[in-house]
Chains A and B, each alone.
Chain A
Amino acid sequence: MSQQGYVATPPYSQPQPGIGLSPPHYGHYGDPSHTASPTGMMKPAGPLGATATRGMLPPGPPPPGPHQFGQNGAHATGHPPQRFPGPPPVNNVASSHAPYQPSAQSSYPGPISTSSVTQLGSQLSAMQINSYGSGMAPPSQGPPGPLSATSLQTPPRPPQPSILQPGSQVLPPPPTTLNGPGASPLPLPMYRPDGLSGPPPPNAQYQPPPLPGQTLGAGYPPQQANSGPQMAGAQLSYPGGFPGGPAQMAGPPQPQKKLDPDSIPSPIQVIENDRASRGGQVYATNTRGQIPPLVTTDCMIQDQGNASPRFIRCTTYCFPCTSDMAKQAQIPLAAVIKPFATIPSNESPLYLVNHGESGPVRCNRCKAYMCPFMQFIEGGRRYQCGFCNCVNDVPPFYFQHLDHIGRRLDHYEKPELSLGSYEYVATLDYCRSKPPNPPAFIFMIDVSYSNIKNGLVKLICEELKTMLEKIPKEEQEETSAIRVGFITYNKVLHFFNVKSNLAQPQMMVVTDVGEVFVPLLDGFLVNYQESQSVIHNLLDQIPDMFADSNENETVFAPVIQAGMEALKAADCPGKLFIFHSSLPTAEAPGKLKNRDDKKLVNTDKEKILFQPQTNVYDSLAKDCVAHGCSVTLFLFPSQYVDVASLGLVPQLTGGTLYKYNNFQMHLDRQQFLNDLRNDIEKKIGFDAIMRVRTSTGFRATDFFGGILMNNTTDVEMAAIDCDKAVTVEFKHDDKLSEDSGALIQCAVLYTTISGQRRLRIHNLGLNCSSQLADLYKSCETDALINFFAKSAFKAVLHQPLKVIREILVNQTAHMLACYRKNCASPSAASQLILPDSMKVLPVYMNCLLKNCVLLSRPEISTDERAYQRQLVMTMGVADSQLFFYPQLLPIHTLDVKSTMLPAAVRCSESRLSEEGIFLLANGLHMFLWLGVSSPPELIQGIFNVPSFAHINTDMTLLPEVGNPYSQQLRMIMGIIQQKRPYSMKLTIVKQREQPEMVFRQFLVEDKGLYGGSSYVDFLCCVHKEICQLLN
């Protein structure tokens, strides 16, 4: 970490109110003193930016927003009337939408989220906004606390039903009524960002409506003074406040029920809306800077010049033109790149370009590869690089005439001219010294006592016999070119000679673990088909060979070393599959001791728990990457095994870490086998180097993922498979122009499974804008969370968790406050206004903060935290979305005739019901939760037992019952599991039984079992922060 701020944004060490109010910005207004004295009224006449600054001003005189928020009880009485006066949102919606709809439709296939701005009144009641969820949730779940009492008189949110209309949700209850001194409710919707979403937005148009601005401005200054101090007190009232302890909960004003959960933005609603509007359609990537459908939406993607969002997703599709602007908004500029993402069979696979010995055409200066961003000029004799603007000669073999619009005649014949993603055959120049050999897989089985005893060794050996049939091969090939080898080990290593001409395999024991070496070359790595009988013979004998072993001690680093040396000796890249069970305590390099010290939790030294115990593994990982050796680790721990140390090599070599705590054959077998099979079969590239090139004005500065970097630009990966993503952060180093936009080219040089050297190129063009509103409009929350998670989890190694949590909260508040200040229509400060694209940022951010990695609680196993930390580091956007906000499906409402998944519900206990059955999945775990009064016919149908009481929860697979419920449920589980990198272990949970505690941790909108606030509380907290910033 170069600086203390882990996201490389300026740390919040000085909580200046001036979020992004950098002097130059103010300069616009001439007098910096404005900052000091908010009194200075902003003339609404200015451009958007100007109005925005106003938004930051403290709320108007009447009820100081934040103040209210905190102590609603006290103040509520004062405002009840304000609550409902607003005209029914329906009307608002209608009116607001009318003018913009056309433009919206032009840019998107369907009406996108109609709700432009989510505004949250400081008063819970103000939260009428939330109208989206209203359709599903009961209108009001319990009286909304003391406040509501006052508001009760008023009809229970009449607007809600009305808002149900498709597409128009959220209409903010006229904020004016709530907070402000009559802030104009009507004009407000005009600002909805989505309204602006037309392609190249003529920003100039957006003039703030004069009226609201003025009104707002009026009476603020005095308030500020007041609210400041009060706010401090207010903090107490936030349950589970950040990062406060439970103590705060005792705060006098109990605002727990102050917010109606249905009134706050619902991730489910956002997902459903996107699905409804864009699902099942064709998304063509023909336009620069267009925002793709959400990861949760299924659609068909057509490459028309930009890389598919399956390969690259960005936190925003419109970059700010200047770094000042970027600093002001503090929205991370990042791309989540999954270069080997799986392409569904209905989309076309990547084209392979082969220029023979000449190799790929590249810009002479920046070395960018030929792509749709290259501009051909001078009749096709030269081309200008879109990245560095260098003018290059077109190589003679590549010459082609241009047509009347200056496009090459072969534009559509050459993938590299018309597509966002394609591959090149690499020439010898791209190889280490000679063409690579086909890769190898080495299976390395821990045969120490525990693995023998629980039957794991036998299982692995048995299953490998069939799984090896499925080693990946090129489609056109008969058999796989990948060779296989076998090693078993405890505190010594056993290599096996399985040469095809042997009658029996031969075992070679290497006991010199201090300086491990490869005892044989010929016969160790073999073609599976050729040596099949010897290999089967070996796999049959291994379990017996060690059946009487009492060896408890294991080594670990020497095992990796051995595999790496074997690949090195064979001069090929490859992948090690290690099946390991225990802390490696035997005398050898990389020996570990149990250092699981819970006393470190919640101290500045907590980071030590996430760091490897010795630097042996770090240098080992470097060696592995240098030789294209990827390590995948299957861990079967029964106690602390120091995942932070053991997992380092898998992490840095692009491998995968799988962990099965207390492995029990009958429960965990299937999960493990699925993982193993999937991992063996998955698409993978070896010995890869990734380079991300950008057009001038910005560059990639930070990289997160299963990678190793020896310099600042080359991302080295021993291997990269279809599930691994690298998140790249960008920074400005100059101004960007709106005309040329921001271009990204990601090139991955790798070795295929048949030993061919290739380049995979992904190109993506983003827009640039000098309007903050454009920026906010183009954000993608799922990618943002992916970025935040990775950068935070990386920072965990270096910074106290407390600091990281604070930074996350602060940055969230900052981003939102900047929006509020610069983009939203003026409204009372007490109102929470969220940009449409970030509506669910708070709930997702809260989920991230509640993740066990960031939660400093001694109750949580250190290994589990290290494990999850590592998993997230390589996740793509879809995986991180599901991981942080699990999918919760009601099963009892299943329509057995439909093949659609049932509509998900929000992850909160309040959504469960005693009569219901729910399925929850987060990508690692799957739970089937059974309400005590679950319908007997469902229980019969699913479990084939007469009643709830008869259900045996000791299973991880549902019985195969011929009943449609069973079939349907298993199909659903199959769909959920599909395409997920990890096999999810199913746990059956009965309501009110002990295991339910585990399940509840995944109800992420609720207050966490081990701390971590509820969504509602967090929202309040963020709001308070925002208010503080605005002040």
Chain B
Amino acid sequence: MATYLEFIQQNEERDGVRFSWNVWPSSRLEATRMVVPLACLLTPLKERPDLPPVQYEPVLCSRPTCKAVLNPLCQVDYRAKLWACNFCFQRNQFPPAYGGISEVNQPAELMPQFSTIEYVIQRGAQSPLIFLYVVDTCLEEDDLQALKESLQMSLSLLPPDALVGLITFGRMVQVHELSCEGISKSYVFRGTKDLTAKQIQDMLGLTKPAMPMQQARPAQPQEHPFASSRFLQPVHKIDMNLTDLLGELQRDPWPVTQGKRPLRSTGVALSIAVGLLEGTFPNTGARIMLFTGGPPTQGPGMVVGDELKIPIRSWHDIEKDNARFMKKATKHYEMLANRTAANGHCIDIYACALDQTGLLEMKCCANLTGGYMVMGDSFNTSLFKQTFQRIFTKDFNGDFRMAFGATLDVKTSRELKIAGAIGPCVSLNVKGPCVSENELGVGGTSQWKICGLDPTSTLGIYFEVVNQFMFHLRRSPFLQVFNNSPDESSYYRHHFARQDLTQSLIMIQPILYSYSFHGPPEPVLLDSSSILADRILLMDTFFQIVIYLGETIAQWRKAGYQDMPEYENFKHLLQAPLDDAQEILQARFPMPRYINTEHGGSQARFLLSKVNPSQTHNNLYAWGQETGAPILTDDVSLQVFMDHLKKLAVSSAC
């Protein structure tokens, strides 16, 4: 343990926890002066290859209101076989199985390196995972084809006993029956009519047994009731059928006239998907995977009308209170998201379109349920294809990197209270002495439900803030809506809220690497002055990976030097950032947009918009030198920002 910093990093590596302050304020007064709240980022399922799960149940504090888990920080009396709860100071007897306990024979949960421990609970029947595909059919032919192929491919990635279901939607919503032989059968719903869960289940024949002979059977959703099996079937049984069914999927058969958007019933489709799972498999792990290629244009949850001449709402419209569908739609999706969360299911949104698709309104579906949100230009891009594939990757144990139905329970000692959590969670409304009156994020509770999470899911975001970050945070798409559509903002914020420290830092302040003949690749300032003619820059903004060739480099490449044996070093120079980018692309979820550009290229804007505009058209001549590239912006530079900040700090101190 060399430095304090390394200690902190090591802790994060081990426990998935990183605090905003690593020193406790000693008093309440001190705490209030901190400005930056005391907080931590928690990655509950952080992958720990070195940490084997223990195959028994945790020992809990016997005080009914506490029930804290025995942990290395507890005081243990090995002779009396007692332990003291470090939260409520209750003294607890070890259970009989711990009879042989001693200083040298400790259970794992008392060892210091097991400050994080994973128990495998043996209780309860194992229920299969459920994947319910909700597919938009109002796509262009090649887009639909690509999506169909991705979906067909995904069947081979699912665990064989997982249940799959298929809902397609366009002007109507179709719930496909998967069990039948011969004629393919689907239940069709009007895309404009909102239905209650009860109605949906009635119409799908899921509630009352249609035939008298079944009357005796009580409704036991857990046991795969006969009815629901028509819509959700184990993959291994119907993958051939489903592959054919997906293959025969047609574009929405309703004609779309000139000047209109296709009628897309996303709101009802989601509502039916939620209702279907709610009635059949509540509180089991289930993903509703929504694939959509455009905004909802009719029915509950519609975001924009079908007249193409009226564009989808922009930030400008929202500010002017001119987004007539937004509130209603948001309410609709929030209602669905809350229901889904209550059922323990999660909703993924894969939205691929050039224009906005209504992520702003739908964001809560993914945010509250721990679902994924992926945004792309088309389903026929590697961004979508690989991202989608990555969802089904497995860890070193061969397990899917996804978990469902988590409950996060935070206990604190008396000196501390819980203000809230931010992340893909909903409150379970468990009040207790350790719950603060002040809410921050989802507060007022010490327990949260996380319907879906993966090893990188991180909750509770409080920043270790330095000024430079503030500058970039100000400019980041999380706060800056200029030049971002509401959908894009929702998308960025979604990911920001669920990534760990490193990743969120990248999102706020992109990383810029420089490759040149002057030395090994090095990180450089995210500043326009870093853009030099003889450099290759690699920028990682989390959502984008940009490779930028400086002017000279680009000319050299154009001249074809890299192909000449005597300039092999130039070839290596060109290759280096590509390799590095590839590495990032492989690991990142969702897969970033990959941009390979050069000086003067149109795509260079991705880089130019991120760097600190130390040289602009306003001050270019003042600075005068050859260094850097001027950025055409009126935005203030870091220098100006800092000056202003200092002024404020001083004046407020007075």
Residues of the B chain whose Cβ atoms lie less than 8 Å from the Cβ of A517: 172, 190
Residues of the A chain whose Cβ atoms lie less than 8 Å from the Cβ of B338: none
In the assembly, what is the distance between CA of A1008 and CA of B300, in Å?
64
Q: A502-B248, A520-B172, A521-B254 are in contact. Are A509 and B182 (CB under 8 A)?
A: no
- Does any Cβ of A come within 8 Å of B489's Cβ? no
Residues of the A chain whose Cβ atoms lie less than 8 Å from the Cβ of B351: none
- A507 touches which one: B183, B202, B203, B250 (CB < 8 A)? B183
In the assembly, what is the distance between CA of A541 and CA of B183, in Å?
8
Evaluate contact between A515 and B182: CB separation under 8 angstroms. Answer: no
Residues of the B chain whose Cβ atoms lie less than 8 Å from the Cβ of A502: 248
In the assembly, what is the distance between CA of A504 and CA of B248, in Å?
10
In the assembly, what is the distance between CA of A521 and CA of B202, in Å?
25
| CB closest residue in chain A, given B255 | A521
In the assembly, what is the distance between CA of A507 and CA of B172, in Å?
14
Q: A507-B183, A507-B186, A511-B187 are in contact. Are A519 and B174 (CB under 8 A)?
A: yes
Q: A512-B193, A512-B203, A520-B172 are in contact. Are A506 and B254 (CB under 8 A)?
A: no
Q: A503-B248, A520-B172 are in contact. Are A509 and B187 (CB under 8 A)?
A: yes
| CB closest residue in chain A, given B195 | A512
Q: A511-B204, A541-B183 are in contact. Are A520 and B253 (CB under 8 A)?
A: yes
Evaluate contact between A504 and B253: CB separation under 8 angstroms. Answer: no
Evaluate contact between B186 and A509: CB separation under 8 angstroms. Answer: yes
In the assembly, what is the distance between CA of A497 and CA of B185, in Å?
10
Evaluate contact between B183 and A506: CB separation under 8 angstroms. Answer: yes
- Does any Cβ of B come within 8 Å of A522's Cβ? yes
In the assembly, what is the distance between CA of A560 and CA of B354, in Å?
42
Within 8 A of A (CB), among B161-219: 172, 174, 182-190, 193, 195, 202-205, 210-212
In the assembly, what is the distance between CA of A523 and CA of B182, in Å?
18
Contact with B along A801-815 (1 / 0, CB 8 A): 000000000000000
- Does any Cβ of B come within 8 Å of A232's Cβ? no
Contact with B along A471-508 (1 / 0, CB 8 A): 00000000000000000000010111101001111111
Evaluate contact between A510 and B188: CB separation under 8 angstroms. Answer: yes
| CB closest residue in chain A, given B173 | A519
Contact with B along A72-102 (1 / 0, CB 8 A): 0000000000000000000000000000000
How far, in Å, is A423 (CB) from chain B's closest CB?
A: 33
Within 8 A of A (CB), among B232-252: 248, 250
Residues of the B chain whose Cβ atoms lie less than 8 Å from the Cβ of A512: 189-190, 193, 195, 203
In the assembly, what is the distance between CA of A613 and CA of B187, in Å?
31
Q: A511-B203, A517-B190, A519-B174 are in contact. Are A550 and B212 (CB under 8 A)?
A: yes
How far, in Å, is B468 (CB) from chain A's closest CB?
A: 57
- Does any Cβ of B come within 8 Å of A538's Cβ? yes
| CB closest residue in chain B, given A551 | B210
Q: A511-B187, A520-B253 are in contact. Are A504 and B182 (CB under 8 A)?
A: yes
Counting chain A residues whose Cβ lies within 8 A of the other chain, the interface size class is 20 to 34
Q: A504-B182, A541-B183 are in contact. Are A522 and B253 (CB under 8 A)?
A: yes
Evaluate contact between B254 and A507: CB separation under 8 angstroms. Answer: no
Contact with B along A508-549 (1 / 0, CB 8 A): 111110010101111100000000000000100100110000
| CB closest residue in chain B, given A523 | B253
Residues of the A chain whose Cβ atoms lie less than 8 Å from the Cβ of B183: 496, 504-507, 538, 541, 545
Evaluate contact between A508 and B255: CB separation under 8 angstroms. Answer: no
Residues of the A chain whose Cβ atoms lie less than 8 Å from the Cβ of B210: 550-551
Q: A523-B253, A550-B212 are in contact. Are A515 and B203 (CB under 8 A)?
A: no
In the assembly, what is the distance between CA of A541 and CA of B182, in Å?
8
Q: A512-B193, A517-B190, A519-B172 are in contact. Are A507 and B253 (CB under 8 A)?
A: no
In the assembly, what is the distance between CA of A551 and CA of B189, in Å?
21
Evaluate contact between B184 and A550: CB separation under 8 angstroms. Answer: no
| CB closest residue in chain B, given A569 | B254
| CB closest residue in chain B, given A519 | B188
How far, in Å, is A501 (CB) from chain B's closest CB?
A: 9
In the assembly, what is the distance between CA of A502 and CA of B248, in Å?
8
In the assembly, what is the distance between CA of A541 and CA of B202, in Å?
26
| CB closest residue in chain A, given B212 | A550
Counting chain B residues whose Cβ lies within 8 A of the other chain, the interface size class is 20 to 34
In the assembly, what is the distance between CA of A522 and CA of B202, in Å?
28
Residues of the B chain whose Cβ atoms lie less than 8 Å from the Cβ of A503: 248
| CB closest residue in chain B, given A542 | B183
In the assembly, what is the distance between CA of A159 and CA of B250, in Å?
86
Residues of the B chain whose Cβ atoms lie less than 8 Å from the Cβ of A492: 203
| CB closest residue in chain A, given B185 | A507
Q: A519-B172, A520-B172, A545-B183 are in contact. Are A508 and B253 (CB under 8 A)?
A: no
| CB closest residue in chain B, given A509 | B187
Q: Which of A495, A511, A545 has the most CB of B within 10 A?
A: A511
Contact with A along B108-139 (1 / 0, CB 8 A): 00000000000000000000000000000000
In the assembly, what is the distance between CA of A519 and CA of B195, in Å?
17
Q: A512-B203, A522-B253, A550-B211 are in contact. Are A506 and B184 (CB under 8 A)?
A: yes
Residues of the A chain whose Cβ atoms lie less than 8 Å from the Cβ of B253: 497, 520-523
Within 8 A of B (CB), among A535-585: 538, 541, 544-545, 550-551
How far, in Å, is B201 (CB) from chain A's closest CB?
A: 11
How far, in Å, is A496 (CB) from chain B's closest CB?
A: 8
In the assembly, what is the distance between CA of A499 and CA of B251, in Å?
13
How far, in Å, is B205 (CB) from chain A's closest CB?
A: 8
Residues of the A chain whose Cβ atoms lie less than 8 Å from the Cβ of B193: 512, 515
Residues of the B chain whose Cβ atoms lie less than 8 Å from the Cβ of A550: 210-212
In the assembly, what is the distance between CA of A502 and CA of B244, in Å?
11
Q: A519-B188, A522-B253, A545-B183 are in contact. Are A508 and B211 (CB under 8 A)?
A: no
In the assembly, what is the distance between CA of A505 and CA of B180, in Å?
13
Residues of the A chain whose Cβ atoms lie less than 8 Å from the Cβ of B255: 521-522
Residues of the A chain whose Cβ atoms lie less than 8 Å from the Cβ of B248: 502-504, 506
Within 8 A of A (CB), among B21-72: none
Evaluate contact between A508 and B186: CB separation under 8 angstroms. Answer: yes
- B174 touches which one: A494, A508, A515 (CB < 8 A)? A508
Residues of the B chain whose Cβ atoms lie less than 8 Å from the Cβ of A497: 253
Evaluate contact between A495 and B188: CB separation under 8 angstroms. Answer: yes
| CB closest residue in chain A, given B172 | A519
Q: A511-B203, A521-B255, A523-B253 are in contact. Are A504 and B184 (CB under 8 A)?
A: yes
Contact with A along B75-92 (1 / 0, CB 8 A): 000000000000000000
| CB closest residue in chain A, given B204 | A511
In the assembly, what is the distance between CA of A496 and CA of B253, in Å?
13
| CB closest residue in chain B, given A522 | B253
Residues of the A chain whose Cβ atoms lie less than 8 Å from the Cβ of B212: 550
In the assembly, what is the distance between CA of A506 and CA of B188, in Å?
12
How far, in Å, is B173 (CB) from chain A's closest CB?
A: 9
How far, in Å, is B556 (CB) from chain A's closest CB?
A: 54
Residues of the B chain whose Cβ atoms lie less than 8 Å from the Cβ of A495: 188
Residues of the B chain whose Cβ atoms lie less than 8 Å from the Cβ of A522: 250, 253-255
| CB closest residue in chain A, given B189 | A512
How far, in Å, is A433 (CB) from chain B's closest CB?
A: 15
Residues of the A chain whose Cβ atoms lie less than 8 Å from the Cβ of B211: 550
How far, in Å, is A570 (CB) from chain B's closest CB?
A: 11
| CB closest residue in chain B, given A506 | B184
In the assembly, what is the distance between CA of A324 and CA of B193, in Å?
62
Residues of the B chain whose Cβ atoms lie less than 8 Å from the Cβ of A504: 182-184, 248
Residues of the A chain whose Cβ atoms lie less than 8 Å from the Cβ of B187: 508-511
In the assembly, what is the distance between CA of A873 and CA of B182, in Å?
45
How far, in Å, is A515 (CB) from chain B's closest CB?
A: 7
| CB closest residue in chain B, given A513 | B203
Q: Which of A496, A506, A510, A538 has the most CB of B within 10 A?
A: A506
In the assembly, what is the distance between CA of A496 and CA of B193, in Å?
22
Beyond A521-B255, A538-B183, A550-B211, 7 additional contacts (C-beta under 8 Å) are: A507-B185, A509-B187, A512-B193, A519-B172, A519-B174, A520-B188, A545-B183
Listed A/B pairs (18) with beta-carbon separation below 8 Å = A496-B183, A502-B248, A504-B183, A504-B184, A506-B184, A506-B186, A507-B183, A508-B187, A509-B185, A509-B188, A511-B202, A512-B189, A519-B172, A520-B254, A521-B254, A541-B182, A544-B182, A551-B210
4 tightest A-B CB contacts, nearest first: A522-B253, A519-B188, A511-B203, A507-B185
